């Protein structure tokens, strides 16, 4: 089945009890046992399972072409579950430009807990190879990356991981399964912040881990989910599932708008650099073309000519774009990324990150033109 169909039907059916076409929200925290002690519907207690969460997990597994999924209360909780499923003493290779929250988890929580971590430029596969140690258990990919939209060759890094008997996980938040399906390039786990494109409307926090195959490692993630309890609530699962129904339509427009805006900004005299993998001069363009389909995503960054003050003066003039962090919603957002990332960031001070929404591309261009002018 194609992804447009899976987005609407994956994991769901008409409600058997009532015939409701739109999925009901099951708020019950507990489920009835039969006289013999069994649970005929498969649900026992909300932390270990809930019908809305099961539907979302089944849908996400279908969208990514995986087997099983675990939904969490946030993307960061989903990310943390993968690290928690490792053992102290294990070694992780991660990109030096991973999402700041992922870097913080590794540096501040999991390094003291006993994980060894090496950060590399993941676009350079030689660096990844050099970083492999006998205790390497996990290679973490994030592509396109934040905020420079660097592109990692997923298939090559997955091969390095498997040669080292390590697991390869890919944070697919920025592309979404509509634009990139990392299992096709050989990764073992896909991680999402469903807060972004999957939810799609800037109104729900969530995350998920999808596994290509059920495995002992995935069962460990499941245990972290149900024993730790950082699960997605029924309403949050319902909101993400509702958002997923329009994912393919939304992603097409996000990507078309972003390409149009990137092309416009690329020729603008007030812009020093545009980072968007859809532009032919982007260093990751060829790999992105190979491993992404239907477009290059809705995220782009620009470096304005000038300093931090100039970047802030452009921000101050934006009118349709909202000055706010996050991404993946229907509305366009713009942010000064270095000040969000805080002390120690390597993000250039003249960089603005744009999450391109679903407004008309010409209106967004007009807004940028007047702000840059
Ligand atoms: N991964 C990526 C690529 C992100 O951009 C984010 C958040 O911005 C996360 C993970 C964390 O997601 P959440 O905010 O849902 O915890």
**Domain residue limits, the chain:** 3-244, 248-372
Percent of the chain with pLDDT over 90: 97
Dump pLDDT digits (tens) for 90-141: 999 999 999 999 999 999 999 999 999 999 999 999 999 999 999 999 999 9
How far does residue 240's CA lie from ligand 1's centre (Å)?
15
Percent of the chain with pLDDT over 70: 100
Residue range 248-372, CATH number:
3.90.1150.10
Q: Which of 106, 148, 193 to mutate to test the pocket of ligand 1 (most atoms within 8 A of CB)?
A: 193
Cβ(101) – ligand 1 distance below 6 Å: yes
Give pTM, 2 decimals: 0.98
Q: How big is the chain by its Cα radius of gyration, in Å?
A: 21
Dump pLDDT digits (tens) for 295-304: 999 999 999 9
Ligand 1, atom nearest to 174 Cα:
3
pLDDT of res. 343: 85
Nearest residue to 179 via CA among 66, 299, 293? 293
CATH tag for 3-244 (out of 3.40.50.40, 1.10.1060.10, 3.40.640.10, 3.40.50.1110): 3.40.640.10
Q: Mark out the alpha helices in 42-134 (DSSP H runs).
A: 51-64, 75-84, 100-104, 111-113, 125-131
Cβ(178) – ligand 1 distance below 6 Å: no
Dump pLDDT digits (tens) for 259-284: 999 999 999 999 999 999 999 999 99
Whether residue 225 is predicted with pLDDT greater than 90 in this model: the reply is: yes
Task: Determine the Cα–Cα distance for residues 80 and 343; give it in Å rounded to an integer.
Answer: 23
pLDDT of res. 344: 85
């Amino acid at each position: 089945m194609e992804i447009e169909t899976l987005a609407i039907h994956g994991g769901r059916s008409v409600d058997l009890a009532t015939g409701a076409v739109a999925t009901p929200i099951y708020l019950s925290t507990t489920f009835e046992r039969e006289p013999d002690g069994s649970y005929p519907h498969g649900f026992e207690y909300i932390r270990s399972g809930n019908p809305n969460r099961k539907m979302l997990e089944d849908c996400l597994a279908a969208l990514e072409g995986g087997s099983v999924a675990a939904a969490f209360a946030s993307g960061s909780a989903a990310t943390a579950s993968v690290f928690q499923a490792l053992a102290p003493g294990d070694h992780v290779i991660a990109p030096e430009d991973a999402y700041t929250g992922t870097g913080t988890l590794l540096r501040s929580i999991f390094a003291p807990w006993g994980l060894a971590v090496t950060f590399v430029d993941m676009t350079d596969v030689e660096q990844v190879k050099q970083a492999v140690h006998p205790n390497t258990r996990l290679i973490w990919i994030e592509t396109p990356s934040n905020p420079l939209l660097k592109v990692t060759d997923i298939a090559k890094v997955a091969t390095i991981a498997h040669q080292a008997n390590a697991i390869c996980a890919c944070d697919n938040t920025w592309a979404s399964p509509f634009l990139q399906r990392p299992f096709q390039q050989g990764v073992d786990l896909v991680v999402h912040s469903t807060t972004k494109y999957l939810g799609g409307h800037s109104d729900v926090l969530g995350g998920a881990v999808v596994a290509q195959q059920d495995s002992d490692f995935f069962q460990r993630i499941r245990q972290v989910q149900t024993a730790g309890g950082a699960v997605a609530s029924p309403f949050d699962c319902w909101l993400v599932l509702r958002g997923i129904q329009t994912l393919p339509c939304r992603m097409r427009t996000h990507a078309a708008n972003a390409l149009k805006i990137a092309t416009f900004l690329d020729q603008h005299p007030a812009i020093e650099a545009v980072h968007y993998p859809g532009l032919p001069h982007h260093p990751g363009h060829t790999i992105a073309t190979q491993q992404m389909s239907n477009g290059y995503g809705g995220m782009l960054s620009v470096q304005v000519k000038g300093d931090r003050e100039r970047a802030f003066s452009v921000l101050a003039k934006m009118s349709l774009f909202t000055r706010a962090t996050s991404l993946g919603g229907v509305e366009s957002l713009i942010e000064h990324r270095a000040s969000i990332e805080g002390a120690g960031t390597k993000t250039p001070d003249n960089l603005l990150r744009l999450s391109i929404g679903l407004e008309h591309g010409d209106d967004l261009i007009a807004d940028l033109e007047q702000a840059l002018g």
